[in-house]
Amino acid sequence: MLTKVSQVHKPRWQLSEFDKALITATYFGFTPIATPKVIATDIASCEHCTELSHYNAVEKAALIRTYLEEDFSSLPHPLSLIYRRVAKRTQLGGPTSTKHSSLGGYDLHFIGSQTGIAEAALIRASLSILSEEGYKNLRVELNCIGDKESLATYERELINYVKKFGSNISEKLKIALKEDVFNLFRLEHEEAMQFRVSAPASISYLSAQSRTHFKEVLEFVEALGIEFGLSPELIGEKNHSSHTIFAIRSTGINAELSSIGGDYLAVGYRYSRLGRRLGMKKEIQMAGVSLFCPEKNVIKKIYKELPRPKFYLIQLGQSAKIKTLSLIELLRSHRIPVHHFLGKDKLTVQLGSAESLHVPYLIIIGQKEALDGTATVRNIQTRAQDTIPIERLPDFLKHVSL
């Protein structure tokens, strides 16, 4: 969570009221902020991007501009943010139009990490928010388009596929594919769906670095213990999307569907390339997810304060990091908030953060604990510590003398 906030001059982005979804996100380190307003310069900076359902470059540009204007770069990174989406009405129809009509929801962003922990944190927090909102039978779908070079290679391969096998397609489909060959994965009529069955998949054209990154993301997602699968049709928008594209939908016979007829409840991806167009001196890794939650006619409970953790979770090593998000979700389900610094590996950085927050206890997950399924709880003042099985940790923490 954000630190070093001035108590004298309240920043414009700081909130004083929070709903349940915002509170849920704070358990995973996301700080609620005011919704960035889209202005003319944001729209102008994204003229090269196609407006697509689920992929809105303009909203990402507004967040990047806010990041620069409010000097978020001076805050500890990785930086995790959440804000409410502004509901709006749009026209339906066409491969490049948005399908969402008067849908609100939330946007979450994980800034400053090039590792798979960014996507994993966004997915885990999104699942928890959607579950708290009443959605069931949630499934995560993933694809990877890789870096800019990987995507360019894949686009050429897809164009060659269309040229080789597209002599018998309709004129309407030809026009759509000439406009953007990736429309093959966006059109929902039968001809396009049949033609893309044998189309090449983007994961077959990843660079070595992109392949390694996607493998790490899959490792994190698998560790979350959630249902997931690969979906080649998740392509994104070629001018600002990159690497892993993920989506969440509700499945099953008695699925709780969104107001858009079973479409995606959330879509996330990396959009780092946009930063340079808005004045960033160097590219900063940025990943985000949009939750498309229809407004419900219920009175939402409003909270005046965020949870105040008394514990700081420290993770040491890759195995421990992979287990961290599942542990945070376990503690969240028991309403036990913890401070943590996801994305940071160094022990000194994590200990320094814990010291600045003046928490009385540390929860330590190292290589041994990760293998044993345990956690070490240490009293910072007395240095006394106990090693507790993970399944018993919530009950132990509830009875710790603070």
Q: Which of 9, 4, 24 is nearest to 301 (CA)?
A: 24
When pLDDT is averaged across residues 222-248 and rounded to a whole number, the result is: 94
Of the listed ranges 62-71, 88-97, 296-305, 356-365, the least confidently predicted one is 88-97
What is the pLDDT at residue 260? 38
* Confidence band for 295, pLDDT divided at 50, 70 and 90: low
CA distances from 244 to 57, 276, 315 (A): 16, 20, 24
Report pLDDT digits (tens) over 72-104: 999 989 999 999 987 664 433 344 433 433 457
Distance between CA atoms of 267 and 143, rounded to whole angstroms? 11
Answer yes or no: is pLDDT of 37 > 80: yes
Angle formed by the axes of helices 117-132 and 318-333, nearest 10°: 10
Answer yes or no: is pLDDT of 377 > 60: yes
What is the pLDDT at residue 13? 86
What is the pLDDT at residue 283? 87
Q: Which of 150, 148, 141, 149 is nearest to 204 (CA)?
A: 150
pTM of the predicted model as reported, rounded to 2 decimal places: 0.90
User: Is 304 part of any domain?
Assistant: no
Same domain, 221 and 354: no
The H or E element containing residue 246 is strand 242-250
What is the pLDDT at residue 19? 93
Same domain, 71 and 57: yes
Same domain, 80 and 184: no
Which residues are paired to 18 by β-bridges?
A: 303
Answer yes or no: is pLDDT of 304 > 50: yes
Answer yes or no: is pLDDT of 243 > 90: yes
Of 203, 219, 238, the residue that ends a domain is: 203
Distance between CA atoms of 274 and 63, rounded to whole angstroms? 11
Distance between CA atoms of 98 and 249, rounded to whole angstroms? 17
The H or E element containing residue 23 is helix 20-26
Domains of the chain: total: 3
Q: Which of 156, 165, 163, 237 is nearest to 198 (CA)?
A: 165
Same domain, 138 and 155: no
What is the pLDDT at residue 258? 42
Report pLDDT digits (tens) over 325-352: 999 999 999 999 999 998 888 899 899 9
Same domain, 254 and 333: no
Domain region containing 235: 20-147+207-293
Same domain, 187 and 42: no
* Cα 20 → chain centroid: 18
Distance between CA atoms of 52 and 160, rounded to whole angstroms? 24
What is the pLDDT at residue 96? 40
Distance between CA atoms of 227 and 247, rounded to whole angstroms? 12
Same domain, 103 and 219: yes
